[in-house]
Chain A
Amino acid sequence: MQIVGLGLIATFLVTILNEHKSNISLLLTVFVGTVIFLFLMDRIQDIFRMVQTLANEAHVQTVYVETILKIIGIAYIAEFGAQISKDAGQGAIAGKIELGGKILILAMAIPILTALIETILSFLPMKG
């Protein structure tokens, strides 16, 4: 509810400001996006604490959980930056930011992929 109210107020103010100073209204948009992200971050922290506790109890290796959390973090940051760029009317830069996020996620997933392939290889019967 707070987020909806915040968004409505911000939309109203941005509409007023847009007629006079479009650069300041852009900054206001960025600000509101940041505030909403900050608000959500507390909830996300709770969720992740629960995920971590579950992983500890299930004796999953911490490297994997850490990598997954980092991947989700990269996705959030890339999404945030891309949307700001898109709001500023720079669709091309937003696309580049998203591309960078995807490639970084793939790079972070390499250890997990390696572990998976090694596990599969260890299941195979060794010959010779």
Chain B
Amino acid sequence: MGVDVDLIFQIAGVGIVVAFLHAVLEGIGKKEYAQWVTLLGFIYILFLVISIVQDLFQKIKSVFLFQS
């Protein structure tokens, strides 16, 4: 459980930092960089989420469908 809670805060923190960077970069007029930052943050979080969803599906498989 501890690791998972840490990951939740990590995701939320990355989201806040990305939103902040996006606002700052748009404020100084670098719109392309702002979009790249958003995209990178999104991909990183997507990676985290996908890895834990894969964990969940493996576990469901091993519990319900008798495959290990």
Contact = CB atoms under 8 A, between A and B. Distances in A.
Contacts of B22: 20-21
Contact of B56 (A34, A48, A69): A34
B18 to A, nearest CB: 6
A34 B53 contact: yes
Contacts, number: 98
Decide if the interface of chain A is mainly helix, strand, loop or mixed.
helix
A2 B41 CA distance: 28
Interface residues of A, number: 35
Interface residues of B, number: 34
Nearest to B19: A20
Contacts of A73: 60-61, 63-65
A34 B57 CA distance: 9
Contacts of B55: 34, 38
B25 interface: no
A30 B16 contact: no
Interface in B26-68: 38, 41-42, 45-46, 48-49, 52-53, 55-57, 59-61, 63-66
Contacts of A9: 5, 8
A41 B59 contact: yes
A115 interface: no
A64 interface: no
Kindly list the 3 A-B residue pairs having the minimum CB-CB distance in the complex, ordered from nearest: A73-B64, A20-B19, A24-B15
